[in-house]
Structure 1
Amino acid sequence: MKRSYLAVAAAGMGLGMGAWAEEAVPLERVTVTGSNIKRIGKEKALAVEVIKKEDIDKTGASTVIQLLDRLPSVGSLLAGTNSNSFAAGAATAGLRGMSSKYVLVLLNGRRLPNYAMFISGTDAFVDLNTLPLSVIESVEILRDGASAIYGSDAVAGVINFKTRRNFRGAEATLRGGGNLDGDGIEHGLNLSGGFGDLEQDGQNLLLSFDVYHREPVFSRNHDATRSNDYRFQGGPDLRSGAQWGYWNDRTPNADRSNALAKPLPGCPPWRLTTRPSGAALCVSDVDELGTQLSPRTSRYGLTAHYTRRLSGDAEFFAELGLNRTETPLDGGYSFVQTIVGPGWAVYPRDGGLASVYPDFKPTDNLQITRNLSESGRRLNEITSDTYRAVLGGRALWRDWDLESSLNLGLNKVEARQNNVVLNDAFLAMLRNGTDGGPLYNPFSQHNDAAALRPYLATIANTSSSRLSAFEFKASNEEWFRLPAGPAGFAAGLQWSHESIDAQPDPLLQTGKIMNFAVQQSLRASRSVLSAFSEVNLPVLKNLEVQLALRADRYNDFGDTFNPKLAFSFRPWEPAMLRGSVTTGFKAPTLPQLYASRQAYTSVYDYAQCADRGIARERCGLASNQLRSGGNPGLNPEESRNYALGLVLQPTPALSATVDWYRIEVSNTVQSLDPQYVLDNPDRFPGFVARKPADLPGVRGDIDYISAPYMNIGKTRTSGVDIDVQYDWSLGAYGKLKFRNAQSRIFSYRESQTETDPMLEYADYGAQPRWKNVFEVSYSRGSYSLGLTARSYASFKNLYSQLYRNAGDVKERVGSYTALDINFGLKPSKGFSVSGGIRNLGNRMPSYATGAGFSGGAAAYSGPATDLWGRMLYLSGRYVF
């Protein structure tokens, strides 16, 4: 019997249902997904979604995140396209509606180093952009807690990426594509070669080189994002006034208490817009601002796998991965916002303002806000290098499968920004003038770029994340026998050490850069020693039970024990019932404990507006400093997962699964919502700091808001995953395949604080009730054709009340469906071609006013790439 040893996969139920073999073929001993016990047979009834290479090619996805974005169960994505993100250029994904910090990401069953920068400045994650999609042979997604088997990260599930093994020969794959609106052109190349045969030569070496490049995608080229004036979609006008600039009278005088923004002189009439608050702005739109939906991206990767048969069933194996990602992100313009007094060198004394605005007095204090566009936009160049090495061995000794491995990983990130402005020096120039050099006049639209040049700088943040892990495990598929069959057993030890070293530019650490909050360095580490065991017991011929236990000792949080109980029951051959109960333990991440974060957030200061007599719906959104970050006093999160599923296969051609889940997380670690803190100052004394008031009875402007990470409450979510597949044989005329997969959320509730009631978030923009994917494909010989319909639920417009006077804002956002088409053909033995069109009907995703990926202006259903319009892709593969 042929033996093959596959890497440890994702996590899951590990239930031992018998395989249905349609023909007598040699069966392989494999490590069952969700179990450490090697077993013989094909597992067809596990609660694991498997996406194979041919399925990946049909989606037309060019990156891992684009692939995952189309799956019903995947959400909470970070696509790596937002230049304002603390983790700019990186990508990650969540499961079950939960964030990525609850998901364990594996490559060939082993951990990867975390990205060296953090979501929101404090949340650690694995960057999916470091994984070239072209070298991935399959993806396994387990939507179930697996803390007892794989570790505390697996509260919401596991995503495991597998690369090919024991490959022989050589192949080249060339890929190209782009959207039909003229941007986002992409191309990729993969070269792979396999040397030696493990069975015949006793060794095999696989080398794979991958390169990928995509040009930027611009908002102006696409219908859904062609303007920040969202009134054409039933939303408000959110065009910016900062490009031309505006000023406010900030003189502490009672008759100016309701002074509103006024554009700088010379605004062309077609740009002049009056906001519902009464403020007048000279607006600029996405074309003038050069807004990007996706940046230029280049990636390079080299992967090597070596396996050598030593003697008998003993093997030595090694893996090596080197990846570089280069992402130049458009960082927008630097901008100045400061109060200019009569004594400043740049104060307007020529009567220009008085001639345009009769209420201007030459003794007024003026707050000026404008982009410093003369120097051009900032460019944020992100370079991420990931190194990974695995060394290990496998052996079969007295019916025991033994394996040990050493896993080393490193991610290094440099984020370099140019055209940033030295804050103190620039303001000193505005205040005191220059010694013979050009003076920058913020009230003029025609400054020479040389007036800004002395105050420009380039900054660079560097950070590194390291992982070291050692594992030894042993398993026996027939530890002992029971009347109903053999009992399997597995046990092992793991040790891991992770560390982070983040060093912001010295100018950022001292607060010298305009528009950037103070950033502090971080050096921290953690070690975890773990022991785990697992047993599969065939209680009856049709009932199997899995028991698992994991003990972890954290050097900073002590001991934790997490058990798991799972079962599979087959009352008759075509049907099976399965279920599981497990607990989890999620230690705070190192950044959540120790990182210090200062950033900017946009909030509505309703209290100050009320003091000034401004109605709530006219209160403007303003950017304010946010102080948040690490809290060494955090406690671990604890979770419980429940799952119950039904698998039906009445015929070999028809199968269906229905899997219900419920996840309960206590002591949830979250940053307080800054708007919630501002709206409830009595509950958080000292968390809102204000500047001195300009007027009696009017609260001063916000200086900063504190919103540290805290164990603030609970999360409860439940839902169901449904998957139905049918294969229809047409005999000599080919085969039709049908599949419908849906992920439906019943409830997703969170509390803002420990004492607050839980609020329902399902059926809002961030948590639509369901996603559905229907696929039909036809194949005959070497030809195939497929059609996919991706549908996204309608949801409540969270911001409909806030913007009810700013346009025809709908109470509910409609559902929508996008179609994808794909084809494949193999004109010769070694040559194959595949391609297709994504978003065939050029459907515009449903729009909702509120925060979203497109610059905080709007939120849309579905994948971000649907905003790019109709996209064409084509690839060719030649096997030598």
Structure 2
Amino acid sequence: MKLNNLACAAAAMGMALGAQARAEEAEVLERVTVTGSNIKRIGKEKALAVEVIKKEDIDKTGASTVIQLLDRLPAVGSLLAGTNSGSFAAGAATAGLRGMSSKYVLVLLNGRRLPNYAMFISGSDAFVDLNTLPLSVIESVEILRDGASAIYGSDAVAGVINFKTKRNYRGASASTRLGQNLDGDGNEQSLNLSGGFGDLDQDGQNLLLSFDVYHREPVFSRNHATTRSNDYRFLGGLDVRSGAQWGYWNDRTPNPGKTNALAKPLPGCPPSRLTSRPSGSVLCVSDVDELGTQLAPRTSRYGLLANYIRRVDGDAEFFAELGVNRSETPLDGGYSFVQAIVTPSWAIYPRDGGLGAIYPDFKPTDNLQITRNLSENGRRLNEIRSDTYRAVLGGRVLRRGWDMEGSLNLGLNKVDARQSNVVLNDAFLAMLKNGANGQPLYDPFSQNNAAAALRPYLATIANTSSSRLSAFEFKASQDEWFKLPAGAVGVAAGLQWSHESVDARPDPLLQSGKIMNFAVQQSLRASRSVLSAFGEVNLPVLKNLELQLALRADRYNDFGDTFNPKLTFAFRPWEPAMLRGSATTGFKAPTLPQLYASRQAYASVYDYAQCADRGIPRERCGLGSNQLRSGGNAQLKPEDSRNYALGLVLQPSKALSATVDWYQIEVSNTVQSLDPQYVLDNPGRFPGFVVRKPSDMPGVRGDIEYISAPYMNIGKTRTRGVDIDVQYDWSLGVYGKLKFRNAQNRIFSYQESQTETDPLLEYADYGAQPRWKNVFEVTYSKAAYSLGLAARSYASYKNQYSQLYGHGGKLKQRVASYTALDLNFGLAPFKGFKVNGGIRNLGDRRPSYATGEGFGSGVAGYSGAATDLWGRMLYLSASYAF
């Protein structure tokens, strides 16, 4: 279950083809535990597809955070960058593998679990926040692109990402990094100080202390050509500039002949900003310069890591790890807004004739719907502070050939989310209806409100959440349990007990539903315990055929028992080639929020039924935000999965290596909330799930009150693809060396179902799942100098929006492929001193525009890495070891 982290270089050597040649030249090889197995061994390529990224490779990517590093890897997807203030897990970052959600990926630090983030993706999915892992202290990353539930537990359906830090470090080092995009924002700085005291081999003990700090200034949409405007017609898209900043009104008077009440801007709009929509509505639009939209928020992170090892005798040692991390992210929360139907009895009804003087069809007896931002006091600010604490205590001993280890792992993540400038719903609406009792009256039909008129109705809310992890593990392994004619049999076995809990406490104002634009949130206190037993055997059947058999039994206190086997083989018909494969089952228990939480949120949907009643064509039906209600379901069943993999490894020479790994993942009984658009489009299948307000027009359905979408075991997921990795080292003799590498993930199919009885729908070749992602790298090195160029490419894919809604053929049917270049250089002018720098997105390539709707929270609607929206980025790092 847990990695021993003895010699990162040797672990990488045992698992990566690129490291094989170096392993053959090493004089001493250690027995290590590698990702995907509990048996310590000396070896070269194994039956598992593990990608190893070392410190020197990390530096060459130009990444400043873990999520930026993972974003450039072909097999990694489903990223959450932590830049969306509207996310349930605001400020946190995570990533998935092979197109699947991050909830199917297990994240480890030095082979051990980390506490989950105290908030949840979409209010339901648990994950580890990658922002709690400072990139500067990571020595290597091992990515197991294979199901590993039989080895690690139910989180590892799609794979494992294991981050490793230094071990037995001696001396001291300091490193710093500066980054800046050429458009003038997003300046970032980082600093790491590390010191190692004592030598494990000579002194019998070693203490590593490391301190890390990272800071980045915000990145604004207005500063970058790609995101400078929400009018995407220059990219072949639509004009989606907002009319809510200035404000607009609709006539909502019940009238059988009035089927399409068009939006009209509030009086006083500058003529240059008046824009007609396809529906016939006219808006006074605002763009990102006025709205102040951010692509990335200001971020500050601090981390302290301590690692102590003491050797009791030659065959036993005690170890302890301590980690403390803080992340502070003030996220732009946008403006509060009001959307209400105002009748003539309201105090703020426009009786002065202002609307009538401009709009001849206005009648002072009409009911008016007003929509506008409440911007007089500025935007909401969502300040997220996340603190993560981790402690590991344990010991290991070697007795009679058995390598035994016991450890206690404790973790805590605590999140405080404070949001200011929110509006008290009941008090504000009461003022609009009844007046302000002698105080300044806020008039939503006027652009000249004083800030003091809104201030009495503003509030600050604070949410607190905590997530705890306690785990105890004992395991033993022996790589030569007994001998067979083909070689030694290795074995590992162990027991693990773990307990996780979550305690989420929303602000009382949120629990009572008193904040405008916020759904009701409820407290959640829940926990789970799991007792596990696992075993593993490496069996050399023939000299050139090895099998790995693994079995894990888990007993959940809330779900009973589950057994998950795994079979892996490695067959070498001749020395330069190896065939490898695996088959495994998986088990994914519902998360605690899916079982016990009560969730309300807002979802953007198209109410095509109401549009049809109003005579509005489908392609002109507007997107609306509606309340979504879903809740915990204690009757949920676990998800079941099956993983299959088959790969070919070729290494005809020390200079050339290649791997081709085919995979197929099948997940049944997936736990998910019903898609609100699907529920709305199929009301006959879900009676009572769409609740509407009373209709204000005969023959027209009422507005949506809320959509019910509970968690259910309703889905299926099937995905197939292949990972390809080719490397070639070309020696130029005294002139240095050229290294070529090409890595690609190609998706053959990615299918999901909306409900248990629905057919699977194909999602490959659409925006979220382009058919392939590719990274090609060439590096020249000579002595202490290197120069590298990397090309990151994404396939073209279908424009789903244009195919669904057409817009008269104005939108492109396919989105163009995309390639960005990164340049890197490195030098070591004297002993202990290293300099690394480069340019990300060297050609200042604009990511391909994907949809007709804009990019919403920051990057949806574009292919490529999120940071490519920032244009060219320069970075320079330096380190000195002494």
Report the TM-score, using the length of structure 1 for normalisation: 0.98
The residue type paired with residue 425 of structure 2 is: N
Contact preservation (8 Å) 2:240, 2:853: no
Deviations 1:803-855 (A, max 9, x none): 53378310000101100000001111121110000000000011011578642
Query: Gaps (5+ residues) in structure 2?
Result: none
**Aligned partner (choices 377, 386, 392) of residue 390 of structure 1:** 392
User: Which residue in 2 is equivalent to 1:71?
Assistant: 73
User: Which residue in 2 is equivalent to 1:874?
Assistant: 876
805-814 or 431-440, which deviates more: 805-814
The residue type paired with residue 543 of structure 2 is: K
Contact preservation (8 Å) 1:276, 1:805: no
Helix, strand or coil for the counterpart of 1:201? coil
Contact preservation (8 Å) 1:8, 1:31: no
613-622 or 365-374, which deviates more: 613-622
Contact preservation (8 Å) 2:14, 2:42: no
User: Which residue in 1 is equivalent to 2:525?
Assistant: 523
User: Which residue in 2 is equivalent to 1:142?
Assistant: 144
CA distance in 1: counterparts of 2:62 and 2:20, whole angstroms: 32
User: Which residue in 2 is equivalent to 1:5?
Assistant: 6
Helix, strand or coil for the counterpart of 2:719? strand
Contact preservation (8 Å) 2:5, 2:110: no
Helix, strand or coil for the counterpart of 1:22? helix
**Aligned partner (choices 188, 191, 194) of residue 192 of structure 1:** 194
The residue type paired with residue 525 of structure 1 is: S
1:131 aligns with 2:155: no
Helix, strand or coil for the counterpart of 2:748? strand
Contact preservation (8 Å) 1:4, 1:29: no
Cα–Cα, structure 1 residues 675 and 621, in superposed 2: closer, same or farther, change >3 Å?
A: same
Contact preservation (8 Å) 1:12, 1:35: no
Aligned positions of 1:83-482 closer than 5 A: 83-482=85-484
Shift of the alpha carbon at 1:857? 8.5
Shift of the alpha carbon at 1:340? 1.1
1:576 aligns with 2:588: no
The residue type paired with residue 146 of structure 2 is: D
Shift of the alpha carbon at 1:253? 1.7
Shift of the alpha carbon at 1:12? 15
The residue type paired with residue 87 of structure 2 is: S
Aligned positions of 1:585-596 closer than 5 A: 585-596=587-598
Contact preservation (8 Å) 1:422, 1:456: yes
CA distance in 1: counterparts of 2:130 and 2:729, whole angstroms: 33
Cα–Cα, structure 1 residues 432 and 17, in superposed 2: closer, same or farther, change >3 Å?
A: closer
Cα–Cα, structure 1 residues 835 and 14, in superposed 2: closer, same or farther, change >3 Å?
A: closer
Shift of the alpha carbon at 1:311? 1.3
Helix, strand or coil for the counterpart of 2:850? strand
Shift of the alpha carbon at 1:19? 6.7
The residue type paired with residue 5 of structure 1 is: L
RMSD: 1.9
User: Which residue in 2 is equivalent to 1:630?
Assistant: 632
User: Which residue in 2 is equivalent to 1:697?
Assistant: 699
Cα–Cα, structure 1 residues 166 and 833, in superposed 2: closer, same or farther, change >3 Å?
A: same
Cα–Cα, structure 1 residues 703 and 12, in superposed 2: closer, same or farther, change >3 Å?
A: farther
Helix, strand or coil for the counterpart of 1:384? strand
**Aligned partner (choices 838, 843, 850) of residue 848 of structure 1:** 850
Shift of the alpha carbon at 1:33? 2.5
CA distance in 1: counterparts of 2:78 and 2:310, whole angstroms: 41
CA distance in 1: counterparts of 2:522 and 2:232, whole angstroms: 38
User: Which residue in 2 is equivalent to 1:837?
Assistant: 839
CA distance in 1: counterparts of 2:812 and 2:560, whole angstroms: 51
Deviations 1:258-284 (A, max 9, x none): 211110001111111110011111110
CA distance in 2: counterparts of 1:664 and 1:875, whole angstroms: 43
Shift of the alpha carbon at 1:44? 6.6
User: Which residue in 1 is equivalent to 2:537?
Assistant: 535
Contact preservation (8 Å) 2:195, 2:208: yes
Point out 4+ residue stretches in structure 1 off by more than 6 angstroms.
7-20
CA distance in 1: counterparts of 2:219 and 2:549, whole angstroms: 50
CA distance in 2: counterparts of 1:470 and 1:231, whole angstroms: 58
CA distance in 2: counterparts of 1:7 and 1:872, whole angstroms: 30
CA distance in 2: counterparts of 1:264 and 1:776, whole angstroms: 58
Shift of the alpha carbon at 1:801? 3.4
Helix, strand or coil for the counterpart of 1:790? strand
Helix, strand or coil for the counterpart of 1:860? coil
Helix, strand or coil for the counterpart of 1:258? coil
The residue type paired with residue 226 of structure 1 is: R
CA distance in 1: counterparts of 2:435 and 2:453, whole angstroms: 11
Helix, strand or coil for the counterpart of 1:199? coil
Report the TM-score, using the length of structure 2 for normalisation: 0.98
1:657 aligns with 2:659: yes
Contact preservation (8 Å) 1:693, 1:700: yes
Cα–Cα, structure 1 residues 856 and 292, in superposed 2: closer, same or farther, change >3 Å?
A: closer
Deviations 1:229-255 (A, max 9, x none): 111110011011100000111111223
Contact preservation (8 Å) 1:12, 1:47: no
User: Which residue in 1 is equivalent to 2:791?
Assistant: 789
Shift of the alpha carbon at 1:69? 0.3
Shift of the alpha carbon at 1:5? 3.4
Shift of the alpha carbon at 1:385? 0.2
Shift of the alpha carbon at 1:191? 0.3
CA distance in 2: counterparts of 1:439 and 1:626, whole angstroms: 32
Shift of the alpha carbon at 1:377? 0.2
The residue type paired with residue 774 of structure 1 is: F
CA distance in 2: counterparts of 1:149 and 1:778, whole angstroms: 39
CA distance in 1: counterparts of 2:744 and 2:666, whole angstroms: 22
CA distance in 2: counterparts of 1:762 and 1:673, whole angstroms: 19
Helix, strand or coil for the counterpart of 2:710? strand
The residue type paired with residue 141 of structure 2 is: V
Cα–Cα, structure 1 residues 358 and 106, in superposed 2: closer, same or farther, change >3 Å?
A: same
Shift of the alpha carbon at 1:32? 2.6
CA distance in 2: counterparts of 1:806 and 1:169, whole angstroms: 67
Shift of the alpha carbon at 1:339? 1.1
Contact preservation (8 Å) 1:800, 1:810: yes
The residue type paired with residue 6 of structure 2 is: Y
Deviations 1:65-94 (A, max 9, x none): 000000000000000000110100000000
User: Which residue in 2 is equivalent to 1:687?
Assistant: 689
Contact preservation (8 Å) 2:742, 2:774: yes
Contact preservation (8 Å) 1:10, 1:106: no
Helix, strand or coil for the counterpart of 2:360? coil
The residue type paired with residue 597 of structure 1 is: R
CA distance in 1: counterparts of 2:92 and 2:875, whole angstroms: 23
CA distance in 1: counterparts of 2:313 and 2:74, whole angstroms: 46
Helix, strand or coil for the counterpart of 2:119? coil
Helix, strand or coil for the counterpart of 1:375? coil
CA distance in 2: counterparts of 1:830 and 1:491, whole angstroms: 42
